[in-house]
């Protein structure tokens, strides 16, 4: 059976599964729509959280970035992994105890201000839209290759699927759909990694194969082989970085604290029955996430070796155009790979200097990896299904945050406090539908690679939400004026920096022009510091929070009972 037919069958079957679950778990109330009724078991919630968190950036783009960037790509691995630990240990239990299932709701009540709530809603929408753009782009990349449609059509197909189970099922439908999507994506990620590890190093586990010698009997270690290939072809040494230490730190830290401030992940801790279950589900999620994140560096290295040798040949002299590998032909049709025979020798050659004749989109590496390694067609189709599952699972969570921010935090808590449960649910679904349309447009016209776009979202979350959440939990005297001023300052600074270097003057987007040598991907760290500084200064110039708020914060940090959050 051909790859395309198998892809239609496997991806189609997964779609039917997701839609069936959405129908079975459709939301009948706002509680179902927002927090799945608060009755999801910890293990299942851990799976759903892992799927929610492991987006198209994790599945499709991260290994591709590491494959092309080498050591420098590790910033994404460290930042996203460390961020989840920070979220699980420092924020999730306290937010769960507070009993507010959206970040704007927490900020509005903790800082006793409708203005703070409204600013938080705006920040949440900006962060989630930036994030979801990358997911829609990921769906388009998958479909453009495996269903042999253009990226625009692929994005539209993805929009239709997400629209159905997000608008119909809400958080209840999304949660159980994400459990299925986690199973699909992790199986799809590990199967080819295991096969390729055995082929390249003889090790069943990719994690151990990453540091092993090659299976060809040469006694050469995989990473030594990569270093040699990289330097001989004009690339930087694979195991050494080219980024400055301050930029590496800034990107890693922005991704870490950005993860801890992401509203679509935080809401996951409200779908379980009680606070203890929130902690358990956080532990399960970390274990499930580790399966993919410990495999990604190995998969990136295997893909890099196989890709270079497939394009350049084992002797590194180039492959005759008459012998162009099938995977290059198919990906060229999508526009994500291109070749120009610069010297007219009838061969293709890939390098990091003036000899280079290939342009390869980083986002294709994980998807093309099974084809490059010559794995069976069913494995290739399985990876396609996994990529779609990763993108759709996170898209759904993000779109739900947007819809709840509009319907619950703006309408219910601000403009229409007497709105009925039925009308609130309808407004949430309308908001989700509008958000899907906007996200789809930017998915067709993205501002960068999937992981790069997602990194911007983490930077925005780091500069807006993380400081006010941390201060809201651990500084009982911090007031509404400080929180609002800090959020606005951090978000405006970070957005301005990103827009200037990525859109206004992209030709100036070099280390020589960056503030302190920090790239747009890492500027969220400085934005976070701006937030803290402005909030502190304004707080010192204004009156501290009321005593009842201080008592409330004290009760969250040192609880005497289960409280509102456990009363479900």
Task: Write out pLDDT tens, residues 483-518.
Answer: 999 999 999 999 999 888 887 888 888 888 999 999
Distance from C-alpha of 414 to C-alpha of 417, rounded to nearest angstrom: 6
Collapsed DSSP state (helix, strand, coil) of residue 362? helix
The one-digit pLDDT tens for each residue of the chain (568 residues) are: 676 778 778 777 877 777 777 676 565 555 555 544 456 788 888 888 887 777 767 777 788 888 888 888 888 888 877 777 777 777 777 777 776 666 787 888 889 888 888 888 888 888 877 777 777 777 777 777 666 777 778 778 777 777 776 665 555 667 777 788 788 888 888 999 999 999 999 999 999 999 899 888 888 899 999 999 899 898 888 888 778 889 989 989 998 888 777 766 777 777 777 767 777 887 888 888 888 888 999 999 998 988 898 898 888 888 888 888 888 888 887 777 888 888 888 889 998 888 888 888 887 888 888 888 888 888 888 888 887 777 776 677 677 777 777 776 677 776 777 777 777 777 877 877 787 788 778 777 766 555 566 778 888 889 998 899 889 888 889 999 999 999 999 999 999 998 888 878 888 888 889 999 998 888 999 999 999 999 999 999 999 999 988 888 888 776 554 444 444 4
CATH number at residue 207: 1.10.4160.10
Distance from C-alpha of 7 to C-alpha of 137, rounded to nearest angstrom: 19
Q: How many Cα atoms within 13 Å fall on the side-chain side of residue 124?
A: 34
Global pTM?
0.78
549 domain-assigned: no
Q: What single-letter DSSP state applies at residue 112? A: T
Q: Where are the alpha helices (DSSP H) in 102-244?
A: 103-110, 114-146, 151-200, 206-209, 222-232
Q: Are 305 and 226 in contact (CB under 8 A)?
A: yes
Domain that holds residue 106: 10-303+375-446
509 domain-assigned: no
201 domain-assigned: yes
268 domain-assigned: yes
530 domain-assigned: no
207 domain-assigned: yes
466 domain-assigned: no
State the total domains in the chain.
Answer: 1
555 domain-assigned: no
Q: Is 240 left (phi over 0), alpha (psi -120 to 50) or beta?
A: beta
């Amino acid at each position: 059976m051909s790859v395309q037919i198998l892809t239609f069958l496997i991806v189609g079957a997964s779609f039917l599964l997701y839609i069936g679950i959405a129908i079975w778990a459709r939301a009948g109330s706002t509680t179902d729509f927002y927090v799945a009724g608060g009755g999801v078991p910890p293990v299942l919630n851990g799976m759903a959280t892992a799927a929610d968190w492991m987006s198209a950036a994790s599945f499709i783009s991260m290994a591709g970035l590491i494959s092309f960037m080498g050591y420098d790509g590790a910033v994404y691995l460290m930042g996203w992994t460390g961020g989840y630990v920070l979220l699980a240990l420092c924020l999730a239990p306290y937010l769960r105890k507070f009993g507010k299932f959206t970040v704007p709701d927490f900020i509005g009540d903790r800082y006793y201000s409708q203005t703070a709530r409204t600013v938080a809603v705006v920040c949440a929408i900006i962060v989630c839209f930036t994030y979801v753009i990358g997911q829609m782009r990921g769906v388009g990349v998958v479909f453009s290759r495996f269903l042999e449609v253009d990226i625009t059509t692929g994005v539209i197909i993805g929009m239709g699927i997400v629209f159905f189970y997000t608008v119909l099922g809400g958080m209840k439908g999304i949660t159980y759909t994400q459990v299925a999507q986690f199973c699909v994506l992790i199986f799809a990620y590990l199967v080819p990694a295991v096969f390729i590890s055995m082929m390249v190093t003889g090790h069943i586990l990719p994690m151990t194969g990453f540091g092993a010698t090659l299976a060809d009997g040469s006694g050469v270690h995989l990473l030594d082989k990569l270093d040699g290939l990289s330097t001989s072809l004009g690339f930087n040494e694979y195991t050494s970085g080219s980024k400055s230490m301050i930029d590496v730190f800034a990107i890693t830290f922005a991704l870490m604290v950005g993860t801890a401030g992401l509203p679509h992940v935080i809401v996951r801790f409200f779908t379980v029955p009680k606070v203890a279950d929130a902690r358990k589900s956080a532990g399960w999620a970390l274990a499930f996430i580790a399966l993919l994140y410990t495999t990604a560096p190995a998969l990136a290295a295997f893909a890099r070796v196989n890709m270079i040798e497939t394009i350049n040949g084992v002797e590194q002299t180039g492959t005759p155009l008459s012998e162009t590998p099938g995977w290059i032909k198919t990906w060229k049709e999508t526009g994500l790979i291109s070749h120009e025979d610069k010297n007219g020798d009838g061969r293709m050659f890939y390098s990091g200097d003036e000899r280079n004749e290939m342009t390869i989109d980083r986002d294709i590496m994980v998807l093309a990896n099974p084809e490059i390694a010559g794995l069976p067609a069913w494995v290739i189709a399985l990876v396609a299904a996994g990529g779609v599952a990763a993108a759709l699972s996170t898209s759904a969570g993000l779109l739900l945050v947007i819809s709840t921010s509009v319907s619950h935090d703006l309408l219910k808590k601000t403009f229409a406090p007497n709105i009925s449960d039925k009308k609130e649910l309808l407004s949430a679904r309308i908001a989700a539908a509008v958000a899907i349309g906007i996200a789809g447009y930017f998915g067709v016209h993205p501002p960068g690679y999937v992981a790069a776009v997602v990194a911007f979202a983490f930077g925005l979350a780091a500069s807006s939400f993380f400081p006010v959440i941390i201060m809201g939990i651990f500084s009982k005297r911090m007031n509404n004026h400080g929180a609002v001023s800090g959020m606005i300052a951090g978000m405006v600074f970070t957005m301005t920096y990103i827009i200037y270097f990525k859109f206004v003057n992209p030709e100036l987007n070099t280390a020589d022009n960056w503030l302190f040598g920090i790239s747009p991907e890492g500027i969220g760290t400085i934005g976070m510091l701006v937030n803290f500084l402005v909030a502190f200064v304004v707080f010192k110039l204004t009156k501290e929070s009321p005593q009842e708020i201080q008592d409330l914060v004290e009760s969250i940090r040192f609880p005497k009972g289960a409280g509102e959050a456990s009363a479900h």
